[in-house]
Amino acid sequence: MTVPAVVIAAPSSGSGKTTVATGLMGALRRAGQRVAPFKVGPDYIDPGYHTLAAQRPGRNLDPVLVGEELIGPLYRHGSAGADVAVVEGVMGLFDGRIPTGAPGAADTAHPGPAPGSTAQVAALLGAPVVLVVDARGQSQSVAALVHGFATFDTGTRLAGVILNRVGSARHEQVLRAACEAAGVPVLGALPRAEELAVPSRHLGLVTAAEHGGGARAAVEAMTGLISRHVDTAAIARLAAGTVTCPPWRPGGDEPPAPGRPVVAVAAGRAFTFCYTEHAELLRAAGAEVVEFDPMRDTLPAGAAALVLPGGFPEQYPGELSDNAELRRQVADLAGRGPVYAECAGLTYLMADLDGTPMCGVLSGSARFTPRLTLGYREAVAAVDSVVHTAGQRVVGHEFHRTTVDFAEPRDPAWIFRDATGAAVHDGAVRGGVHASYLHTHPAAHPGAVRRFVAHAAATKLAG
């Protein structure tokens, strides 16, 4: 049976989607519902707050990274056993991947909502949209805004509006009347609430893992706000879905690798950017997955392979460097077994990060810069590695303010063109190490995970 869903969207970023979506997840769970949390796009941070609110893993739905055909199966897998799903959108409702080519060119290959947009995911799920509108500075003109979003795309069903940052009771009355005149019901009105502020920094919100008790307090505050000011029962009733395909299965029909090799996965405050499906695929491929915190732990006993996901090592260079025993162990493992590193993991493997010693697996330095590198990339594997064969094509995503300067010639992990059209030779492949800035979604490339675990099994057997 398809679990019904509701999609929380907005006219633009900064309207309050995360507050509403996270609070709605918590409020519905508090009311006795089993809630499946999702986030549109490649975002790693919001799902951490969703996990706290729903008490089950937050997951991503990104048609650009995994393809339209996997959205339904991944949704069925992630919502199994739930009563309702809440899907937080990305950016504005109709914002998605910008077509390549001349400015303003239409994307004729993808008619309808932009690829990767909230509207596209809502259509793929057959789910209604609730629009979060920032009411600051708005009066009767909100009717035109709401009417435009309700009628812009006939495939998008706008089921209601939640007004955010309402200034007074009179302000709410005016806004409600305007929205209802536009034919869109108001499902809630949130007053301005300073206690909901969550710390942010150069790449967005501080992750839930780092914010600790503050994150839990923020989620509780969001839950209380939504419970008091939104008709959550009405939202649960309007939830719907048309996905009928079979759920995604991490293992597929492939047999697992022998020997249950231990795959160590970095976690803790410095390494938080990891899709839930990655660990599921590793286990299905035959691995025993053991998480550890590079700021305080050593490698798990018997580790035959290492995964270093993205995160914020630039916030904790001293703590990471002080764990000298782990740095030595990582360098040793990199000389005999497979290591897969994305973004933060790449910087951790360099000789130093802003002058602070790191693992020294790759010669050269990583440094923080004022420039944000952000966007989807169509990449080609430059050489054979422990995860890919040369020539394999993927769609990935970059999201970082650091850069690396290699001190020696190396085989790049990926070749792609950046947003300016310039060729980029990203990362490095050296022996069993595959390290790059590019984030990929493992569900789109299950064969890469099986290949990695097979190398881990061989390392265990040889050791």
- What is the tens place of the pLDDT at every residue in 133-154? 999 999 999 999 999 999 999 9
Q: Give yes or no for a contact between 160 and 233, defined as CB atoms under 8 angstroms apart.
A: no
5-238 has which CATH code? 3.40.50.300
Q: Which residues of the chain have pLDDT under 70?
A: 100-111, 193-212, 463
Q: Which CATH architecture has domain 262-462?
A: 3-Layer(aba) Sandwich (3.40)
List the one residue out of 191, 209, 208, 238 whose CA is nearest residue 86. Answer: 238
Decide: helix, strand or coil at residue 37: strand
| The two structure tokens encoding residue 157 | 């069903």
For position 455, what pLDDT does the model report? 98
For position 462, what pLDDT does the model report? 85
For position 215, what pLDDT does the model report? 80
For position 39, what pLDDT does the model report? 98
Enumerate the domain spans of the chain: 5-238, 262-462
For position 252, what pLDDT does the model report? 82
Q: What whole-number distance in Å separates Cα of residue 37 and Cα of residue 56?
A: 7
Catalytically annotated residue among 179, 274, 343, 359: 343
Where is 189: in which H helix or E strand?
Answer: strand 186-191
Cβ-based burial of 278 (10 A; exposed 0-12, middle 13-18, buried ≥19): buried
The neighbouring-strand residues paired with 238 are none
| The two structure tokens encoding residue 450 | 């099986």
For position 203, what pLDDT does the model report? 34
Check for a shared fold between 5-238 and 262-462: yes
Report how far apart, in Å, the C-alpha atoms of 88 and of each of 18, 49, 122, 154, 341 are.
7, 11, 10, 21, 28
- Strands 423-426 and 414-417, sheet pairing: antiparallel
The b-or-e profile of 412-449 (16+ CB within 10 A means b, else e) is bbbebeeeeeeebebbbbbebbbbbbbbbbbbbbbebb
DSSP collapsed to 3 states, 334-358: HCCCCEEEECHHHHHHEEEECCEEC
- What is the tens place of the pLDDT at every residue in 93-102? 999 998 765 4
Q: Is 343 a catalytic residue?
A: yes
For position 16, what pLDDT does the model report? 93
